[in-house]
Amino acid sequence: MSFEVDFEPLGQRVSCKSGDNLLDAAQRAGIMLNAICGGEGVCGRCVVRVMAGKVSSPNIAEEEEMGKEQLDAGWRLACQTEVEGNVQIYIPPSSLATAQRTQTEGQGLPVEPQPAVRAFDVEQHPPSIHDLRSDASRLRDALDMPALTFPTAVLRTLSTDLRDREFRSAVFVSGSSVVGVASADARPLGLAVDLGTTKLAAYLVDLAGGETLAKAGAMNPQIAFGEDVMARIGHAISKPDGAEQLRIAVVEALNGLARDLCEQTAHPVHHIADAVIVGNTAMHHLFLGLPVRQLGLAPYVAAESAALDVQAHDVGLDFAPGANVHLLPNIAGFVGADHVAMLLASGMPEHEGIVLGMDIGTNTEISLIAKGKHFACSTASGPAFEGAHIRHGMRAAPGAIEKVLIRDDEIMLQTIDDKPPVGLCGSGILDLVAQLRKANIIDRRGALDKSGDNPRIRQGDKGLEYVVVPAAEDEGREITFNRKDVNEIQLAKGAMRAGVQILLQRAGITEEDIDTVIVAGAFGTYLDVQSGITIGMFPQIEARKFVQVGNAAGAGACMALLSTAIRKQAADVAHHVTYVELTAEKGFSSLFARNLFFDQHIADGL
Amino acid sequence: MSFEVDFEPLGQRVSCKSGDNLLDAAQRAGIMLNAICGGEGVCGRCVVRVMAGKVSSPNIAEEEEMGKEQLDAGWRLACQTEVEGNVQIYIPPSSLATAQRTQTEGQGLPVEPQPAVRAFDVEQHPPSIHDLRSDASRLRDALDMPALTFPTAVLRTLSTDLRDREFRSAVFVSGSSVVGVASADARPLGLAVDLGTTKLAAYLVDLAGGETLAKAGAMNPQIAFGEDVMARIGHAISKPDGAEQLRIAVVEALNGLARDLCEQTAHPVHHIADAVIVGNTAMHHLFLGLPVRQLGLAPYVAAESAALDVQAHDVGLDFAPGANVHLLPNIAGFVGADHVAMLLASGMPEHEGIVLGMDIGTNTEISLIAKGKHFACSTASGPAFEGAHIRHGMRAAPGAIEKVLIRDDEIMLQTIDDKPPVGLCGSGILDLVAQLRKANIIDRRGALDKSGDNPRIRQGDKGLEYVVVPAAEDEGREITFNRKDVNEIQLAKGAMRAGVQILLQRAGITEEDIDTVIVAGAFGTYLDVQSGITIGMFPQIEARKFVQVGNAAGAGACMALLSTAIRKQAADVAHHVTYVELTAEKGFSSLFARNLFFDQHIADGL
């Protein structure tokens, strides 16, 4: 028996058999729904609304996740709902894995292109009985480069590549090594990648000209195996093929991004002749298939911290056959190449005065440069600001609440693209907590205060909750914020602030001495600095000292992609950092505990 | 239903199900029978004798291959014979793939060890909360080599390797790259391989001391896909996975040889830190997975002819994780690195006077150095001298006839290990043809002469044949030699001699000008030079001018393994060769045709 499923508001239709679930049906229709749990019914991300038609009855997983009221209104988990007739399905923006606000924008410093790969146009006579030189030797002679070497992967297609193009071709060369053979006049491309714990950002760059031709973001598919680095390391060392699963997941995602970017710009993917990848130490190791057991246990030691050059082919990336992948150096612990890239892009090491840098993500890396010394640490801030672990949290997609203002009983919301609100993204969550605290709706411990008569505070199924958006017939789901949500933010901000304080102690200075705070990361682009100060996530200094630089790690990766000189500079920067392992710092636990409270002066502009 | 199969004289027993064939049964018992055709019943190599018990009746393939008489005597093809009860099977030595005379002996010049890999013993404190350097950086510091790099494959096991050995270990280093981490005091080993079309020879060498610790030979398993290079190239380009099948077959065989040699000498296989592999251009390309289409068509152009360094790990060899494999340069056409190695080992380029070198195998490579010029060619001499394509040919295993002398009606035979004769190996075949010709039993065209009343000449099922060993009740099979067998030798010797004559023409000299002839190759070790002169395979000059150097290609590979200076010298030698493509030489076909005849003066010592 075959049925039609209509997906609205996208207008996609797909045929289904009886018993197919809506998640699979959507995938077949080319619609990617959020499904962090892989369709197990536990992440509650693939919420859809059945507008018409017959589907299976709600199961226990759905009752647990959604509650009776939502289910009665037709809201369901797509992964748990089976088609039993022709149906019409509404997909709220919060359930879509696509269409999120790009996390690829970042400010970098201008770079004079000095790429590793150059292209040479070569026109040769074909071999003949009077010219029996090998294909490689003929190229050496044509380019007048007697020391030119050919990696095995290049040799494996060289003879075909030359003959297919009738011996007129562009040869990509890096140093004295051939990267690939392309059509005559082809320009070598580069791919820069910020390999984040939660998100991937990729940039396709014209190596000779220096322009970024296209950029794209995607979720890190390793999320299915664990949300944070420790969970992934746990998966890698506890499952027989765990490390390989993680490696393959991210390699396939990078190949997918590369293909998408090349399709968008009408370039063949084998024109990618060079790549730079940055990530924290765990992402770096998992991508390369390096051991992570010793990284997951104290004293958290990396296998390698120096910059690495690997063959794209050897790590499973389908670029030009001899393409190199440069991995910027890691610093130590989890402070990896992504932080080095952020330092490069922000120009922090050249800043005048005392400068603090925070790259906020699932892990937050912090650098403090003061009086010629550079201290850095990493702190597990968790994915709360990515919208995860927050009941009605979501990523920054249309309809996400990104700004919040509370005046007495009134709450004002701004959503992305001015769409009806469907959830809270990171900057909205931060604003909400700051506003709740300023309005004394939550106390210094983070508890919702029911002593007043705020009509938005009510008893929910999981304790007290604040109603951000009430349920309304046409306008999507009700949005609430509860004690547990507040607690996630307390953990995140407590860890970040304690990290900053430890570095200040090491440098022998105080918050007041800081001249500049550089805030990086996708969330860092959009957050309200004042809200961050209000909840005590940031140092208690004037908001005007903060600079938001966006995805600086991605920007730094692009700089290193364009210039071998920048790669050398990166090694210097990494070399001069004093790494501080927070778990080894005596004062850290108590600083962390103290920073869980909301003890800041609750006043605008301090 | 389960039966017992006894294999004699080896005394191996194995359980079989009804319908299992004897070839599979032997394999399960650990006995490798010859089966070039892969068990298709067409190569006639897996002959066994059923001594007792019930087996399937002979099929058409067997009747064609064996004849009624042999079948009646219990001789069968193992691959076609199914077990139907408890049976006792006799395996003649000629059917065994093992136990053949080693093809690994060869003379090389003495070499001062100057290996690429050195070992450093390192003892480190384990990392601690006060020493958070990465494992790689800690090794760089311990060795005081700040520029030391670690290939990805090394990094993948580095952290475990160091911890398993509690940070006391030997570190193998090549140039500025780490090859592997081994137990403290471990000595780095090297593997030299002569990758022949028919045979593989491998040598395990102590890199620091220079001694060959063990050596082993094996058949090239690619034989199952084609006997000569053209058949293999055909397989590689006509079958979808053909090239990959060939590549994997030889890689697995090399891994097997490495394991065997290491087991024999009680070394772990990951102590192999460096390798040198030589082979003709086709073997070289197929081993690396390089394209061979352009090599199989005129003008027969290699993808690469320069020396190559590849990571063992990348080509599937299970040595130390960062072990390098050095492939000596190819010359051109099919004249490959094995010939360069033979030139190194024989010292030909430094010889005084005019010197001719012939490395005899399925392909025969020929070099002529005269008046400061070096010419080389390759000629398809075929596998007849390996015992293939000869009805009762076999490899040089116990019982193989290796010397033949005919006096009137009397024939005198010498077999390997003085075992009862079971077949003819290369040197025996050469002697036999020379003696038949001298006795005028074959004429200048190669036809058997029945005009006399030689009782050994008779009408066989495939024309006239000469009975070398008559059938006898207890003593194995009858051994005969027929017109077709003679023809195989005519083709081989005609090709070799014509190749030599072309090179002499190019150098503007004649056979009489040659001062020295170096004869290399396994067959070349054992052949009777006078027989070679008699049949016109060799130049018609005095036998004392010939030097037999054995497997010089293997010896040259060992020299290059021990010394990076020799590798440079190899590149120089290859660079100075003028390659002569015989198929492009106008005179070649007629010279080849003329040399098919036996026109030499038939006299001892000329």
Residue-wise pLDDT tens digits, A135-180:
999 999 999 999 999 999 999 999 999 999 999 999 999 999 999 9
| Residue B151 to residue B172: CA distance in whole angstroms | 13
Who among B150, B303, B314 is closest to A159 (CB)?
B303
The yes-or-no verdict on residue B406 having pLDDT over 80 is: yes
| Residue A157 to residue A63: CA distance in whole angstroms | 56
Who among B128, B150, B306 is closest to A137 (CB)?
B306
| Residue A11 to residue A348: CA distance in whole angstroms | 48
- Taking the CA of residue B274 and the nearest CA in chain A, the distance in Å comes to 18
Q: Which two tokens stand for residue A94?
A: 């919060």
The yes-or-no verdict on residue B45 having pLDDT over 80 is: no
Q: How many other CB atoms sit within 10 Å of the CB of residue A398?
A: 18
B134/A330 CB distance under 8 A: yes
The DSSP annotation for B510-525 comes to -GGG--EEEEESHHHH
Side-chain half-sphere exposure of B359, counting CA atoms within 13 A = 32
| Residue B103 to residue A327: CA distance in whole angstroms | 47
% of chain A exceeding 70 in pLDDT? 94
For residue B377, give the H/E element and its range.
strand B373-379
Give me the total of CB pairs closer than 8 Å, taking one residue from chain A and one from chain B: 147
Q: Is the peptide bond between A9 and the residue preceding it cis, with omega within 30 degrees of 0?
A: yes
| Residue A480 to residue A9: CA distance in whole angstroms | 24
pLDDT at res. B38: 65
pLDDT at res. B601: 54
pLDDT at res. B101: 45
Which residues in chain A have Cβ-Cβ distances shorter than 8 Å to B298? 129
| Residue A173 to residue B414: CA distance in whole angstroms | 61
The yes-or-no verdict on residue B452 having pLDDT over 90 is: no
pLDDT at res. A102: 43
The yes-or-no verdict on residue A474 having pLDDT over 60 is: no
pLDDT at res. B420: 83
List, in order, residues 6 or more apart from B102 with CB less than 8 Å away: B215, B216, B217
The angle that helices B229-238 and B242-264 make with each other, rounded to 10 degrees, is 120
Pairing of strands A546-550, A199-206: unpaired
The yes-or-no verdict on residue B139 having pLDDT over 70 is: yes
Ramachandran quadrant class, A496 (left: phi over 0; alpha: psi -120 to 50; beta: rest): alpha
- With cut-offs at 50, 70 and 90, classify the pLDDT of residue A420: confident
A299/B129 CB distance under 8 A: yes
Give me the sheet containing A87-90, strands edge to edge: A12-17, A2-8, A87-90, A47-52, A75-77
The DSSP annotation for B299-325 comes to T---S--S-EEEEGGGGT--SSTT-EE
The ipTM is: 0.78
pLDDT digit string, tens, across residues A369-411: 999 999 999 998 888 888 778 888 887 888 889 889 898 778 8
- With cut-offs at 50, 70 and 90, classify the pLDDT of residue B36: low
A305/B134 CB distance under 8 A: yes
pLDDT at res. A104: 58
Number of H helices and E strands in chain B, helices first, is 16, 26
Which residues in chain A have Cβ-Cβ distances shorter than 8 Å to B159? 290-291, 293-294, 301, 303
Out of A60-69, A400-409, A421-430, B532-541, give the one with best mean pLDDT: B532-541
A479 or B522: which leads in pLDDT: A479
Out of A70-74, B348-352, B396-400, B490-494, give the one with best mean pLDDT: B490-494
- Taking the CA of residue A133 and the nearest CA in chain B, the distance in Å comes to 7
Q: Which two tokens stand for residue B304?
A: 């690469």
Say if residues B308 and B327 touch (Cβ distance below 8 Å): yes
Q: Is the peptide bond between A321 and the residue preceding it cis, with omega within 30 degrees of 0?
A: no
Who among B157, B291, B305 is closest to A156 (CB)?
B291
The yes-or-no verdict on residue A33 having pLDDT over 80 is: no
pLDDT at res. A223: 82
pLDDT at res. B309: 96
The yes-or-no verdict on residue B310 having pLDDT over 90 is: yes
pLDDT at res. A398: 81
Who among B128, B301, B315 is closest to A134 (CB)?
B301
- With cut-offs at 50, 70 and 90, classify the pLDDT of residue A113: very high
Q: How many other CB atoms sit within 10 Å of the CB of residue B515?
A: 13
- With cut-offs at 50, 70 and 90, classify the pLDDT of residue B428: very high
Who among B294, B306, B314 is closest to A163 (CB)?
B294
Q: How far is CA A337 from CA A361, A551, A580, B527, in A?
A: 14, 14, 16, 64
pLDDT at res. A90: 86
Who among B159, B290, B308 is closest to A294 (CB)?
B159
pLDDT at res. A381: 87
Pairing of strands A177-183, A168-174: antiparallel
The DSSP annotation for A267-334 comes to --GGGEEEEEEEE-HHHHHHHHT---HHHHSTT---S--S-EEEEGGGGT--SSTT-EEEEPPP-BTT
A492: burial class by Cβ within 10 Å (0-12, 13-18, 19+)? buried
Say if residues A36 and A120 touch (Cβ distance below 8 Å): no
| Residue A559 to residue B573: CA distance in whole angstroms | 45
The yes-or-no verdict on residue B212 having pLDDT over 90 is: yes
Q: Summarize the confidence of residues B13-29 as an average pLDDT.
A: 84
A152/B314 CB distance under 8 A: yes
B315/A290 CB distance under 8 A: no
The yes-or-no verdict on residue B301 having pLDDT over 80 is: yes
pLDDT digit string, tens, across residues A297-319: 888 899 999 999 999 999 999 99
B332/A132 CB distance under 8 A: yes
Amino acid found at B41: G
Q: Which two tokens stand for residue B594?
A: 């003329």
Residue A516 forms beta bridges with which residues? A355
Nearest chain A residue to B128, by CA: A299
pLDDT at res. B35: 67
| Residue B435 to residue B424: CA distance in whole angstroms | 14
pLDDT digit string, tens, across residues A495-523: 999 999 999 999 999 999 999 999 998 88
A56: burial class by Cβ within 10 Å (0-12, 13-18, 19+)? middle
- With cut-offs at 50, 70 and 90, classify the pLDDT of residue B134: very high
Out of A79-93, B51-65, B334-348, B405-419, give the one with best mean pLDDT: B334-348
The yes-or-no verdict on residue A603 having pLDDT over 50 is: no
| Residue A77 to residue A47: CA distance in whole angstroms | 5
3-state secondary structure B416-476: HHHCCCCEECHHHHHHHHHHHHHCCCECCCCCECCCCCCCCEEEECCEEEEEEECCCCCCC
- With cut-offs at 50, 70 and 90, classify the pLDDT of residue A605: very low
Q: Please name each of the domains of chain A with its CATH number.
A: 2-91 (3.10.20.30), 117-183 (3.10.20.880), 191-327 (3.30.420.480), 346-383+489-594 (3.30.420), 393-480 (no CATH)
The yes-or-no verdict on residue A455 having pLDDT over 80 is: yes
List, in order, residues 6 or more apart from B568 with CB less than 8 Å away: none
Who among A150, A163, A310 is closest to B304 (CB)?
A150
pLDDT at res. A199: 86
Amino acid found at A477: R
The angle that helices A564-575 and A337-346 make with each other, rounded to 10 degrees, is 110
List, in order, residues 6 or more apart from B130 with CB less than 8 Å away: none
Phi, psi at A308, each rounded to 5°: -130, 145
B601: burial class by Cβ within 10 Å (0-12, 13-18, 19+)? exposed
- Taking the CA of residue B276 and the nearest CA in chain A, the distance in Å comes to 16
Q: Which two tokens stand for residue A27?
A: 């995938």
- With cut-offs at 50, 70 and 90, classify the pLDDT of residue A100: very low
Q: Summarize the confidence of residues A215-240 as an average pLDDT.
A: 88
Q: Which two tokens stand for residue A106?
A: 């970042």
Which residues in chain A have Cβ-Cβ distances shorter than 8 Å to B132? 299-301, 332-333, 579, 581
pLDDT digit string, tens, across residues B58-106: 998 888 888 888 888 888 999 999 999 999 898 876 676 544 444 556 6
Out of A20-29, A515-524, A572-581, give the one with best mean pLDDT: A572-581
pLDDT at res. B602: 45
| Residue B334 to residue B230: CA distance in whole angstroms | 10
Which residues in chain A have Cβ-Cβ distances shorter than 8 Å to B137? 304-306
The whole-chain average pLDDT of chain B stands at 89
3-state class (DSSP) for residue A166: coil
Which residues in chain A have Cβ-Cβ distances shorter than 8 Å to B163? 294
Which residues in chain B have Cβ-Cβ distances shorter than 8 Å to A135? 294, 301-304
B106 or A95: which leads in pLDDT: A95
pTM over 0.80: no
A152/B289 CB distance under 8 A: yes
Q: Is the peptide bond between B240 and the residue preceding it cis, with omega within 30 degrees of 0?
A: no
| Residue A167 to residue A135: CA distance in whole angstroms | 10
- With cut-offs at 50, 70 and 90, classify the pLDDT of residue A209: very high
Say if residues A283 and A334 touch (Cβ distance below 8 Å): no
pLDDT digit string, tens, across residues B354-381: 999 999 988 899 999 999 999 999 998 8
| Residue B369 to residue B577: CA distance in whole angstroms | 9
Scanning A202-241, the segments in alpha helix (DSSP H) are 229-238
Mutant choice from B124, B152, B317 vs A, greatest count of A C-beta within 10 A: B152
The yes-or-no verdict on residue B582 having pLDDT over 70 is: yes
- With cut-offs at 50, 70 and 90, classify the pLDDT of residue A24: confident
The whole-chain average pLDDT of chain A stands at 89
% of chain B exceeding 70 in pLDDT? 94
Phi, psi at B374, each rounded to 5°: -130, 115
For residue B342, give the H/E element and its range.
helix B337-346
3-state class (DSSP) for residue B271: helix
